[in-house]
Structure 1
Amino acid sequence: MSPTPLHGTASGGAITDVSGIEVGHFSDTRRPTGCTVILAREGAVAGVDVRGAAPGTRETDLLSPGNLVERVHGIMLAGGSAWGLAATDGAMRWLEERGIGMDVRFGTLPIVPAAVLFDLPMGDARFRPDAQSGYAACEAASSQPPAEGNVGAGSGALVGKLFGVDRAMKGGIGTASVTVGGVTVGALIACNALGDVIDPDTAQVVAGARTTDGKALLDTRRALLRGERPKPLLAGTNTTLGVIATDAVLTKVQANRLAMVAHDGLARSINPVHTMSDGDTLFALATCRVPPTDDTPGMTVLSAMAAEAVARATVRAVRAARSVTVGDLHIPSAADLAAPRG
């Protein structure tokens, strides 16, 4: 296995604009799947909010404010459904080899929570991210703006599956950042949503379910409200994953709150969202690199910044994606279809 070529970088900022954050992708060449690691080598205060009803996660309980561990050293996002959680083992091995982790007397223990999305319809499902994939993602990690679109955890992502996979469109991975008062908040989103992706600034559908002839965007929200019936769904086959990072100084309680309110960005950019078939999960990391001053944004402003970065990154995930063909299944991208007028 080897990483595939990168697909372009962010023009609206990136999560790596946050000091202390690195991102690396691994994209499997055997089928559209992969994983993405977000590293914080010096450790970052962390929180999480799991909002979808069908999550696949690892080490999220320890991020509860009442539990012991304060800082994590990375977050793993992966395809492959629950099998993809194995990619975390490779990230832990990579970090341990470099002496990065929590001192537990008998060794250095890297803390790497993880979440996965379901991309098994895309090719031979026997190929999914494993420990070797996670290690390779760490090897590729840097503080440069990460590639977007059909890479890493977004390689096999689809959106708009409520009326069948054959009418879906290509999802992907995207990133964005916002800076206010010397503090930066960045987001990295792997969008594999059941619903459509909406541009919050225009309220137009960017990518999602297509009409029966496959040539135009349907607009899932309006279709459901006028009584069109969705196809039966296999539970847990969708999910949007993401990481919000900031260089502000946060407590563990505040990091969990930031992860919670960042879901507002998903609600602005995905419709429907947080469904029974989605495992939507957002992590928050604070590298605490910017000391607080009288001008430092408080939690209200940070929350607004996080939601904005998440919404922008979600839209970028589908705009950066490109069409794929796997067997008889052709999945177009946002670049292939014009948004409807009205």
Structure 2
Amino acid sequence: MRGAAGAITDVPGIEVGHFTDTRRPTGCSVVIAREGAVAGVDVRGAAPGTRETDLLSPTNLVERVHGILLSGGSAWGLAAADGVVRWLEEQKVGMPVGPALLPIVPGAVLFDLMVGDSSIRPDAQAGYAACASASSRAPAEGNVGAGAGAAVGKIFGIGRAMKGGIGTASVTVDGVTVGALIACNALGDVIDPDTARPIAGARTADGSALADTRRALLRGEAPKPLLKGTNTTIGVIATDAVLTKVQASRLATVGHDGLARSINPVHTMSDGDALFALATGRSGRNPGMMLLGTMAAEVVAMAVVRAVRAAQGITAGNLHLPGARDLDRG
């Protein structure tokens, strides 16, 4: 589904593909920039699972990347990046290194192993399949790709959580576009940034309504003990503005403001929140970091909200995770 909020593929030069393994469910998503894109990253969560993020430091050599992997499966899911690299190499996309073209594909994973059979997780073939499905059309949202096994609101236990997902959004100002693709598997609640009211997250003990995690914690309700890294929101911000590597890194940093507006609590010790930023430069313009940062935070928050609003409830074994639409109907 896709509404008036737009999609990351509204940015010229960006393609998105999903692979969804319905056996568990789990999956992975890939953002492709065939011509290469200047890239940056900002990892805020305390329990990240990432690949090749060090090379995106403004002080390091590599300037452009060719794809970003977002995957379920925790650290095992990083294997899906091998399939992305293989597919891009077959398409003759990559950085020249002597006689070969080397695709540069950073990535990040989220923990979805509590949903279904944890032995099923994305691998290299899953990453390859995600690339094979990629296009510049608006990508599907909700229970697909890296959002297939995502859940939100686990602070009082997975049994009181709700279904997370993947969402996308874009905004265009004066001929420059910024878009985001976000896989939301947050420990905290997802909040409507316009009303500050929870949309999805931890439910009350009887499961019929939202508990409102922030207020529940402040009232003294104790969170359940948590395994570190069992959550995480990951995503990609893309723009057709012309950016330096330093500016791309800053765009990723400011994008986290969008997570702070739409998730509470966020950046916890049990989350590995990470955002990448890509700049294709197709517009030939840079309207300034003040505007671009404002646009980035906005589309990140919009994409988080769309991720849970598009998500459908699932049952995996004895675990039932309702979607936001299920509680709305209730």
Q: Same fold (TM over 0.5)?
A: yes
Mapping for residues 244-255 of structure 1, pairs under 5 Å:
244-255=237-248
User: 1: distance between equivalents of 2:4 and 2:27?
Assistant: 23
* Match in the other structure for 1:284: 277
- Equivalent pair of 1:161/1:209 in contact (CA under 8 Å): yes
- Are residues 1:301 and 2:291 paired? yes
Which secondary structure does the structure 1 equivalent of 2:280 belong to?
strand
- Equivalent pair of 1:10/1:146 in contact (CA under 8 Å): no
* Match in the other structure for 2:83: 90
* Match in the other structure for 1:113: 106
User: 2: distance between equivalents of 1:190 and 1:155?
Assistant: 9
- The number of aligned residues is 330
* Aligned residue among 158, 171, 183 for 1:190: 183
* Match in the other structure for 2:73: 80
TM-score w.r.t. length of structure 1: 0.95
User: 2: distance between equivalents of 1:105 and 1:9?
Assistant: 43
1:262-297 CA-to-partner distances (Å, cap 9, x unmatched) read 0000000000000000000000000000112xxx52
Could you tell me how far 1:11 is from its partner in structure 2?
A: 3.2
- Equivalent pair of 1:205/1:339 in contact (CA under 8 Å): no
User: 2: distance between equivalents of 1:196 and 1:274?
Assistant: 12
* Match in the other structure for 2:322: 332
Which secondary structure does the structure 1 equivalent of 2:121 belong to?
coil
1:292-316 CA-to-partner distances (Å, cap 9, x unmatched) read 2xxx521000000000000000000
Structure 1 stretches lacking a partner, 5+ long: 1-7
TM-score w.r.t. length of structure 2: 0.99
* Match in the other structure for 2:20: 27
* Match in the other structure for 1:3: none
Which amino acid is 1:326 matched to?
A: A
User: 2: distance between equivalents of 1:128 and 1:306?
Assistant: 30
Structure 2 stretches lacking a partner, 5+ long: none
* Match in the other structure for 1:219: 212
- Equivalent pair of 1:197/1:314 in contact (CA under 8 Å): yes
* Aligned residue among 175, 178, 190 for 2:168: 175
Could you tell me how far 1:158 is from its partner in structure 2?
A: 0.2
* Match in the other structure for 1:323: 313
Could you tell me how far 1:261 is from its partner in structure 2?
A: 0.5
Could you tell me how far 1:181 is from its partner in structure 2?
A: 1.0
User: 2: distance between equivalents of 1:150 and 1:309?
Assistant: 20
* Match in the other structure for 1:39: 32
User: 2: distance between equivalents of 1:308 and 1:239?
Assistant: 19
Mapping for residues 107-146 of structure 1, pairs under 5 Å:
107-146=100-139
Could you tell me how far 1:160 is from its partner in structure 2?
A: 0.2
User: 1: distance between equivalents of 2:329 and 2:182?
Assistant: 22
Which secondary structure does the structure 2 equivalent of 1:87 belong to?
helix
Could you tell me how far 1:96 is from its partner in structure 2?
A: 0.3
User: 2: distance between equivalents of 1:10 and 1:286?
Assistant: 24
Could you tell me how far 1:339 is from its partner in structure 2?
A: 9.9
* Match in the other structure for 1:240: 233
Aligned alpha-carbon RMSD (Å): 1.1
User: 2: distance between equivalents of 1:315 and 1:276?
Assistant: 22
* Aligned residue among 280, 296, 301 for 1:311: 301
* Match in the other structure for 2:48: 55
Which secondary structure does the structure 1 equivalent of 2:281 belong to?
strand
- Are residues 1:229 and 2:222 paired? yes
Which amino acid is 2:294 matched to?
A: A
1:213-245 CA-to-partner distances (Å, cap 9, x unmatched) read 000000000001111100000010000001000
* Match in the other structure for 1:4: none
Which secondary structure does the structure 2 equivalent of 1:25 belong to?
strand
User: 1: distance between equivalents of 2:46 and 2:23?
Assistant: 30
User: 2: distance between equivalents of 1:123 and 1:274?
Assistant: 25
Which amino acid is 2:79 matched to?
A: A
User: 1: distance between equivalents of 2:128 and 2:327?
Assistant: 36
Could you tell me how far 1:119 is from its partner in structure 2?
A: 0.3
Could you tell me how far 1:98 is from its partner in structure 2?
A: 1.1
- Structure 2 vs 1, CA of residues 325 and 339 (structure 1 numbering), >3 Å: closer, same or farther? closer
